Amino acid sequence: MQKKIVLMLLITVFAVGGAFAQVGMSAGVGGNFGVHMTSYSHPDADFDNPKPIVGVGFNAFFDATYVMVKAGMFIGGNSEEFDMGNKKQTMNITGTYLSLGVLGKYPVDMGGFTLFPMLGFEYNMLLSMKMSMGDDSETFKRADQDNASDSDMLILQLGVGADFNLTDKIYVRPNLLWGIDLNRSKGEKDTKDLRTFKHKLDFGLAVGFRF
């Protein structure tokens, strides 16, 4: 399923370039601060919710007035505390993700700037995971993990952004995105009556150049 999603996003990137060839286009680079949260509930049991995955990302984007496609990386992690009998140990986990996204947007001229709501998808594919406890650490590649796709994120996103012109060609773009993660791990799917809610909040800032 994950390979099909990546292929679909890549096809969209090329399709957008042709479909909007006559529309105002731009490209740029940006970064974001993201927080991914998970909560569990079950009618017959109590679950400890994992700590949020907090991280930063960077991306390059292509904009064709009504559609934006982006590709980059997201690096995020959390820490979990374990009771080792006579003492507690903290395990730090950091994941590196390939991030691909497609967002539809509707620009509205506000006079001094352009405001636009956005709706689309972001797919974060786990490439590697580093786990460390005390002085010990180990990095696992995607190929080393049996269920690596369990840690992927398939996010239905919505949000808002704005373009502020610095010159006729260059603009600054802050944006706020929130989305629901639709991916479920095998364990989450197999646990009867388990209710899972995953979501991700992103604050971004980018610089773009109009062609």
Instruction: Specify if 85 maps to a domain.
Output: no
What's the DSSP call for residue 42? B
CATH number at residue 74: 2.40.160.20
Q: What is the mean pLDDT of the chain?
A: 88
Residue 16 scores a pLDDT above 80: no
Residue 13 scores a pLDDT above 60: no
Query: What's the pLDDT tens digit per position in 167-193?
Result: 999 999 999 999 999 999 988 888 888
Instruction: Specify if 211 maps to a domain.
Output: no
H helix or E strand, kind and range, residue 31: strand 26-41
Domain residue limits at 188: 2-19+29-80+90-206
- Give backbone dihedrals phi and psi of 203, rounded to 5 degrees, phi first: -115, 120
Residue 139 scores a pLDDT above 50: yes
Mean pLDDT calculated for residue range 131-149: 85
Beta bridge partners of 125: 98
Instruction: Specify if 24 maps to a domain.
Output: no
Residue 21 scores a pLDDT above 50: no
Reported pTM: 0.85
Number of domains in the chain: 1
